[in-house]
Structure 1
Amino acid sequence: MQNLKNIAVGFLVSFIGSIPLGYLNVVGFQVYEKTGLFPTALYLLGVIIIEFFVIYFTLIFANKLAANKRLTKYIEGFSIVFMFVLAYVFYSSANAKSDFSTSFNYAPFLLGIVLSCLNFIQIPFWTGWNLYLLNGNYIEVSKSRKYFYVFGTITGTFCGMLVLILSLHYFASNVDFLSKYLMQIIIPLVFVGLGILQTIKFYRKYYR
């Protein structure tokens, strides 16, 4: 029963956490639009392989990572810069009529691995969630039970990202406004907005 609870809690947290629009989802949407479902599944598999190790090690070292304020500050600062860089990359790619997902000579699986490795913000994200779930006794991670929790999380990420990708495809295919402006204007503005929001939070957290 505890193993099933670990899977369910991990799945729920990860599914909800993967729904908000991020660059991994946007690139996954581009992969789906360009190549279809199977390459998209390979891309997502690459993403969750890296996430597996991130979640596992943040689960094991959650207390030490949470206590390392300097590392957290650097990661959060990098994520702010990364948001603005992504806004520029997606804007320039859309206006140049090129596809970010095919700008690299990687197979979808390797593309997922590379981009997931650059997603440093997942370290404080999972450190915080793992501490919360452990301290609240929502999960139990002794012996092999930790693997059931991690399995639930990566399954939730895969399903959550796939749902968002398919939803983006549906709306982009059926709403003329989204079809015309999604990649060219809306996505870059989303990343600019996220960058500004994270900058405000960063300032309040470290300089007020």
Structure 2
Amino acid sequence: MTIILLFFFGFIFSFIGSITPSMLNMTAIKVSLDNGRKAANNYALGVSIIVFIQVVIAVILTKYILNNPTIIETLEKFGIVIFSFLSYYFYRESKKGKVNINTEKLKKENAFLTGVILSVLNMFAVPFYSGTIVTLDLFKLFNYDFIPVMFFTLGSVIGTFYILFLYGKFAKIIQQKTGKLTKDINLVLSILTGFVAIFTLLKFVF
């Protein structure tokens, strides 16, 4: 049951973490509009392969961090600041208008490579998954054994691929409604990250 839960958590956190309009999913829209759904799927595959590596790195780093209680407490305090900042950031982004999508053509044969490169350049991936793992570990919901880690990683990879697949599939609709989509999603993320910051702060107060 634990490995199924870890797969589910990996999928959900990865899906939600990638759902807000960003460099990766805006590029998925551009690839789909310029070169079609097949190219968009190749792009999503390229991104997802790198996500596999990033999640594994995050697990290794997190396991090392958790072996040092001083680092954990420091990270939790630091997390309050980070989540507070993210809450403000998403709230501010929710007030903005339509996100512009660059219409410059991408070569179809480079869609997969584009996904790989952009995913490598995504500096927030490893810290995001480390934060996810730390949160799950605090609630005794994470297992560092090989098989559970692989299920969590697989869930994360599929979650990332699926959200990019959806962005590619509904590219035209999303392009037309990006303004409202961005506002609604960022407002929800602002509330969620604000809640996490408050919850973490309450842990230290009580």
TM-superposed deviation, 1:21: 0.6
DSSP-derived class of the 1:138 partner: coil
Whether the 8 Å CA contact 1:5–1:139 is kept in 2: the answer is no
* Cα separation, partners in 2 of 1:37 and 1:105, compared to 1, 3 Å: closer
TM-score by length of structure 2 reads 0.65
The equivalent of 2:7 in structure 1 is: 7
TM-superposed deviation, 1:128: 0.9
2: CA distance, partners of 1:106 / 1:37: 13
* Cα separation, partners in 2 of 1:171 and 1:156, compared to 1, 3 Å: closer
For structure 1, the residue ranges without an aligned partner over 5 or more in a row are: 81-89, 198-208
Indicate which of 150, 166, 169 corresponds to 2:169: 166
The equivalent of 2:19 in structure 1 is: 19
What whole-Å deviation, never above 9, does each CA across 1:109-131 have from its counterpart, x for those lacking one?
Answer: 10000011111011221111111
The equivalent of 1:201 in structure 2 is: none
Indicate which of 124, 131, 134 corresponds to 1:121: 124
* Cα separation, partners in 2 of 1:48 and 1:171, compared to 1, 3 Å: closer
DSSP-derived class of the 1:57 partner: helix
- Using the TM superposition, name which of 131-140 and 148-157 deviates more: 131-140
* Cα separation, partners in 2 of 1:141 and 1:63, compared to 1, 3 Å: closer
2: CA distance, partners of 1:143 / 1:122: 21
> Quick one: which amino acid aligns to residue 133 of structure 1?
L
> Quick one: which amino acid aligns to residue 153 of structure 1?
S
What whole-Å deviation, never above 9, does each CA across 1:34-73 have from its counterpart, x for those lacking one?
Answer: 111111111011101111111111111115569499xx9x
2: CA distance, partners of 1:119 / 1:113: 10
Superposed, which structure 2 residues align to 1:1-208 within 5 Å? 1-62=1-62, 64=64, 67=71, 94=102, 98-99=103-104, 102=106, 107-172=110-175, 175=176
DSSP-derived class of the 2:47 partner: helix
For structure 2, the residue ranges without an aligned partner over 5 or more in a row are: 83-88, 90-98, 191-206
Whether the 8 Å CA contact 1:65–1:127 is kept in 2: the answer is no
How many residue pairs get aligned? The number is: 162
Whether the 8 Å CA contact 1:50–1:116 is kept in 2: the answer is yes
* Cα separation, partners in 2 of 1:9 and 1:160, compared to 1, 3 Å: same
Whether the 8 Å CA contact 1:9–1:138 is kept in 2: the answer is no
2: CA distance, partners of 1:7 / 1:105: 32
1: CA distance, partners of 2:151 / 2:123: 24
- Using the TM superposition, name which of 129-138 and 30-39 deviates more: 129-138
TM-superposed deviation, 1:2: 2.1
RMSD: 3.6
2: CA distance, partners of 1:170 / 1:141: 41
